[in-house]
């Protein structure tokens, strides 16, 4: 069964999406943006109060990498918190009145399912091609941003395989198409990974600073401070290339170059004690503190529309 303080299976997450959206028709709608390689539906939840005119929006995805289980847990937590605090928390109320938040709870569903059934440490998609016996590409190397030039591998057996071409992975194409289609309303792109406790922003495919570097850094530092205020968890903020490592083909750089200025990658808890195998007892504190960072960024974006 579904629980916010457990790592849910894809099937539990699907049931949860159906039930939460039918219980909250005034604040959530569901749309399938395409199917995964293995045919699972990629469902985006749109949170926000209905409006007669187009609302500016934030897009957030979780679970680009299959084994980073705390990430989908955060997307689920976020949806719950948004619904349960709308009407009582003034910031959440104002956010959902003025903006929509698109949430993709699991990006790499096939990989996520595989980590539950076959290999807990799987990272990539599950696509295959004749000519190679190795399965999958790294979805966060498959976006069209300096594709496969740096920190990515052209070997299909590598965990950072960039794929056969930009957007060769259907999951990446589905998300990129959705963001391109909604480009005029999407003001921020937030993607959840683990682990390392970092708040990253462009660029990662090159060392050069983003045109908006100082603003992106200031907002990241404010968000990290908000996160730390709850339990003292420390985050480091900075451009991907120098803060974690140079790596091309990532979703954050791609969204930024498309024109989505506020583009952030979170690397959630921890710093390596448990790594990808973060205990379920840490889901609640991790999500609670991350909510504060998300809300800090959202408030800034809303103020600067
Ligand atoms: O390597 C990645 O894709 C991310 N780290 S992870 O351990 N979750 O795999 C960092 C992504 C930073 N952004 C880009 N490289 N564009
Ligand atoms: Zn279950
Ligand atoms: Zn990741």
Q: Is 232 left (phi over 0), alpha (psi -120 to 50) or beta?
A: left
Residue (of 45, 41, 40) closest to 21 by Cα position: 45
Q: Give per-residue pLDDT as tens, 110-157.
A: 999 999 999 999 999 999 999 999 999 999 999 999 999 999 999 999
Contact 264, 235 (CB under 8 A): no
Question: Can you tell me the distance from the alpha carbon of 75 to that of 7, in angstroms, rounded to the nearest whole number?
Answer: 12
Whose tokens are 């187009």? That residue is 54
What pLDDT is stored for residue 184 in this prediction? 98
Out of 122, 244, 249, give the residue to mutate to test ligand 1, the one with the largest number of ligand atoms within 8 Å of its CB.
244
Told to judge if 167 belongs to the known catalytic residues of this protein, a careful annotator would answer no
Q: Which ligand is nearest to the CA of 116?
A: 2
Per-domain residue ranges of the chain: 10-303
Question: Can you tell me the distance from the alpha carbon of 237 to that of 17, in angstroms, rounded to the nearest whole number?
Answer: 32
What pLDDT is stored for residue 276 in this prediction? 98
Kindly report the protein residue whose alpha carbon is nearest to atom 15 of ligand 1: 247
For residue 275, report the phi and psi dihedrals to the nearest 5 degrees: 60, -130
Percent of the chain whose pLDDT exceeds 90: 100
DSSP state of 191: E
Beta partners for residue 58, in sequence order: 101, 188
Q: Ligand 2 center to residue 6 CA distance, Å?
A: 8
Q: Give per-residue pLDDT as tens, 59-74.
A: 999 999 999 999 999 9
The yes/no answer to whether this complex scores an ipTM above 0.95 is: yes
Q: Ligand 1 center to residue 19 CA distance, Å?
A: 32
Average pLDDT over residues 84-99: 98
Enumerate residues lining ligand 1, CB below 6 A. Answer: 65, 68, 140, 193, 200, 204, 240, 244, 247, 250, 252-253, 265, 267
What pLDDT is stored for residue 237 in this prediction? 98
What pLDDT is stored for residue 158 in this prediction? 98
Question: Can you tell me the distance from the alpha carbon of 146 to that of 191, in angstroms, rounded to the nearest whole number?
Answer: 19
Q: What is the pTM of this model?
A: 0.98
Average pLDDT over residues 191-218: 98
Which tokens sit at 295?
A: 């809300």
Average pLDDT, the chain: 98
Average pLDDT over residues 30-39: 98
Instruction: Give the list of residues 6+ apart from residue 59 with CB closer than 8 angstroms, or none.
Output: 101, 102, 104, 178, 179, 182, 186, 188, 189, 190, 255, 260
Q: Which ligand 1 atom is nearest residue 249's CA?
A: 16
Contact 140, 65 (CB under 8 A): yes
CATH architecture of 10-303: 3-Layer(aba) Sandwich (3.40)
Helix, strand and coil content of the chain, in percent to the nearest 5, comes to 40, 15, 45
Q: Ligand 3 center to residue 133 CA distance, Å?
A: 24
Question: Can you tell me the distance from the alpha carbon of 280 to that of 263, in angstroms, rounded to the nearest whole number?
Answer: 28
């Amino acid at each position: 069964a579904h629980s916010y303080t457990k790592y849910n299976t894809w099937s539990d997450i699907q049931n949860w999406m159906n039930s939460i959206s039918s219980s909250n028709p005034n604040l959530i709608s569901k749309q399938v943006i395409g199917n995964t390689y293995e045919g699972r539906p990629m469902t985006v939840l749109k949170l926000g109060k209905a409006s007669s005119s187009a609302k500016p929006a934030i897009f957030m995805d979780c679970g680009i990498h299959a084994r980073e289980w705390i990430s989908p847990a955060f997307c689920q937590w976020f949806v719950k918190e948004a619904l349960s605090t709308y009407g009582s928390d003034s910031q959440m109320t104002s956010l959902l009145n003025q903006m929509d938040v698109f949430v993709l709870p699991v990006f790499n569903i096939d990989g996520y399912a595989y980590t539950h059934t076959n290999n807990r440490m799987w990272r990539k998609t599950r696509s295959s091609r004749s000519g190679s016996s190795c399965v999958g590409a790294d979805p966060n190397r498959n976006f069209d941003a300096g594709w496969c030039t740096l920190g990515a591998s052209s070997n299909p057996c590598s965990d950072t395989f960039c794929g056969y071409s930009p957007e060769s992975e259907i999951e990446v194409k589905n998300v990129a198409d959705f963001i391109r289609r909604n480009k005029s309303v999407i003001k921020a792109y937030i993607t959840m990974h683990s682990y390392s406790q970092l708040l990253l922003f462009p660029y990662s495919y090159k060392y050069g600073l983003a045109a908006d570097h100082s603003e992106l850094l200031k907002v990241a530092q404010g968000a990290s401070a908000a996160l730390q205020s709850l339990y003292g968890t420390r985050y480091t903020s900075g451009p991907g290339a120098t803060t974690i490592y140079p790596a091309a083909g990532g979703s954050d750089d791609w969204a930024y170059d498309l024109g989505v200025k506020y583009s952030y990658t979170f690397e959630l808890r921890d710093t390596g004690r448990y790594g990808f195998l973060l205990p379920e007892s840490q889901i609640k504190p991790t999500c609670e503190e991350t909510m504060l960072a998300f809300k800090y960024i959202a408030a800034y974006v809303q103020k600067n529309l």
